[in-house]
Structure 1
């Protein structure tokens, strides 16, 4: 048998085979969330600033429709960040 390396040292995180674009996007989103949690553990204020900047950028990229994709606390944060007065929400 041929030795092709240390395959025993690999775990699922080492293998990044996306089945489709949706799965690839989900993996990127999960990685972003993980990194934001790491930042939040070290510097909560910086993490909040990053999240607020992300909301603004996503809203701009989505033509001002980010709120249509949010609910609960996330919608409240988006409304505050984007300075939209609550209107029966």
Structure 2
């Protein structure tokens, strides 16, 4: 009989669905933005603003509908009071 050692998360090959993969990519993006913010807060702010504009464009002007709290306030400020993208 072979004695098995401790298993690490990386030892188990689990398939993940698209939703989980998307969440992991979003988490990685958030971590990278935090790293940039630690080095250069103004650059991080610019990146976040550009990301909001790009997401709003990609979502046909509905990004505000998916945000609340401070994130929604930032989107309102970045996007202004303009009508959604047509």
Question: Which residue does 1:27 correspond to in 2?
Answer: 24
Alignment of 1:58 onto 2:59: no
Which has the bigger relative contact order, CA under 8 A and spacing at least 6?
2
Q: TM-score scaled to structure 2, two decimals?
A: 0.78
Q: TM-score scaled to structure 1, two decimals?
A: 0.76
From 55, 64, 68, the counterpart of 1:67: 64
Correspondence 1:30-49 to 2 at 5 A:
30-49=27-46
How far residue 18 of structure 1 moved from its aligned partner, in angstroms, is 4.4
Q: C-alpha root-mean-square deviation of aligned residues, in Å?
A: 2.2
Unmatched runs of 5 consecutive residues or more in structure 1: 1-7
Unmatched runs of 5 consecutive residues or more in structure 2: 1-5
